[in-house]
Amino acid sequence: MTMQRDLSGITPSGHLTLGNYLGALRRFVERQHTVDGFYFVADLHALTTKHDPAKHRELTTSTAALFLAAGLDPQRATVFVQSDVPAHVQLAYLLECTAHVGELSRMIQFKEKGGRPGTRASLFTYPCLMAADILLYGAQRVPVGGDQSQHVELTRDLAVRFNTLYGPTFVVPELEPTALTARVLDLQDPTRKMSKSDSDDAAGVVRLLDTPDVIRRKFRRAVTDSEGEVRYDPHAKPGVSNLLDILAALTGQGPVSLATTITGYGQLKDAVADAVIAELRPLQERHDELVADRPELARLLDIGRQRARETSTPVLDQAQQAMGITR
C-alpha cells in the first residue's frame, strides 16, 4: 500500500508565530511519521506584496531553519524551499493558461487585498502558483487554514479542467474539513487570529523566536475580561479561553479541566508563558545553530530540493506534453 501524500507550505511574509506552530508546523511534524509529507517555504508567494529583498532573504532562511528545528526530518519528509524547484513557476504558467479571469476575481483573498493602488499582478495569479505547488506532487491532502480552502477548491477545479481538456495528468486533491484546525487568537484582540503579517512589535503576536522575557511580557499583558473567574467559554470569555486553549495544546489536557485547576488570571498567564517558553526553547536553540551553520542548513535543504525535483519533474513533463509543448 502506498502512503498518502500530504503537502503544505508556509509563506515567509513575516516571522512565524505560535499560531503557525500549533496550527501548522507541529501538525506537520506529527504527521511526518504516518504520511509521505512535502512541506515547503513558499518564498515566491511572499513576493506578491511589497517586500524588502534583504528581509525576504533572511525570513526565507529563518523559516526553513524553523521547519527543521521544529522537528521535520529530511529523511522522513521532503522539506524544501519553493524557489529551489523551478518547476513550480513553470507549471504555474500552464495553470494560468487553464484558469479563467472570472474565477480568479472571485478569490476572497484577492477581493480583500487586491483593490489597492500598486497591487502586483502576481497577487491576482497567485492561486495558480499555489495550484502548481499542490499538483506537481500529486498531493492528496493539503492541510491549510480555513482562509486557504477556496484556493484548494480552485486547485481541484483547475486539475479537473486540465485533465478533461488535455487528458489525465493531475491527481485531484481532497478538500479537507478545516473546522478542526486549532486557531490561536491574538493576545490583544482575541476576536481575530494571531497573524504573522502584523508588525514585528505587535504585542498580541507571540513569535517563535521571541526571547523568554518578551514571551512572558506578551502573556502578562494579554487581554482578558473583568470577571476574574478562570472558566472556558470561547464566546463570553475569548481572551481567557484562548489562553486555556494554548495551554491545553501544549499540555495535552482539556481546556475545561485545566480551568478548574487554575485560580486567577495571573496564575493562568504565568502557566501559559512557562509552557510556551519550555516548548520553544529547544526549537530556538536548534534554529540558531542551523542559521549559524549555513553549510549544514544548505545540506539539509538540498536533500529536500533533490527529492522535490525528482518527484515534480515527471509531472511537469507530462503536463507540458499534454498541452502540446514539444521538446
Q: Which residues are catalytic?
A: 113, 193, 196
CA 310/CA 307 separation, integer angstroms:
5
Query: Does residue number 41 form part of the binding site for ligand TRP (CB under 6 A)?
Result: no
Query: How far apart are CB 10 and ligand TRP at their closest, in Å?
Result: 6
- Closest C-alpha among 102, 107, 159, 161 to residue 136: 159
Residue number, 11 or 125, with CB nearest to ligand TRP: 11
Integer angstrom CA distances of residue 70 from 21, 28, 54, 59, 156:
8, 9, 24, 16, 30
- By beta carbon distance, the residue nearest ligand AMP is 23
Query: How far apart are CB 24 and ligand TRP at their closest, in Å?
Result: 8
* Residues contacting residue 103 through CB under 8 Å, at least 6 positions apart: 154, 157
Query: Does residue number 184 form part of the binding site for ligand TRP (CB under 6 A)?
Result: no
* Binding-site member from 45, 196, 218, 305 for ligand TRP (CB under 6 A): 45
Partner touching 7 among ligand AMP, ligand TRP, none, CB below 5 to 8 Å by kind: ligand TRP
Query: How far apart are CB 237 and ligand TRP at their closest, in Å?
Result: 29
Residue number, 66 or 291, with CB nearest to ligand AMP: 66
Query: Does residue number 144 form part of the binding site for ligand TRP (CB under 6 A)?
Result: yes
Partner touching 127 among ligand TRP, ligand AMP, none, CB below 5 to 8 Å by kind: none
Query: Does residue number 134 form part of the binding site for ligand TRP (CB under 6 A)?
Result: yes
Query: How far apart are CB 178 and ligand AMP at their closest, in Å?
Result: 8
Task: Give residues in contact with ligand AMP (CB under 6 A).
Answer: 10-11, 19-20, 22-24, 144-145, 181-184, 193-194, 196
- Closest C-alpha among 127, 40, 46 to residue 92: 127
CB 100 within 8 A of CB 167: no
Grid coordinates belonging to 181: 484546525
Query: Does residue number 84 form part of the binding site for ligand TRP (CB under 6 A)?
Result: no
Query: How far apart are CB 219 and ligand AMP at their closest, in Å?
Result: 15
305-324: contacts with ligand TRP (CB under 6 A):
none
CA 126/CA 104 separation, integer angstroms:
9
Q: Which residues pair with 178 in a beta bridge?
A: none
CB 297 within 8 A of CB 58: no
CA 243/CA 237 separation, integer angstroms:
10
Partner touching 9 among ligand TRP, ligand AMP, none, CB below 5 to 8 Å by kind: ligand TRP
Integer angstrom CA distances of residue 185 from 112, 165, 237, 289:
20, 43, 12, 30
Residues near ligand TRP (CB under 6 A) are 7-9, 11, 42, 45, 130, 133-134, 142, 144, 148
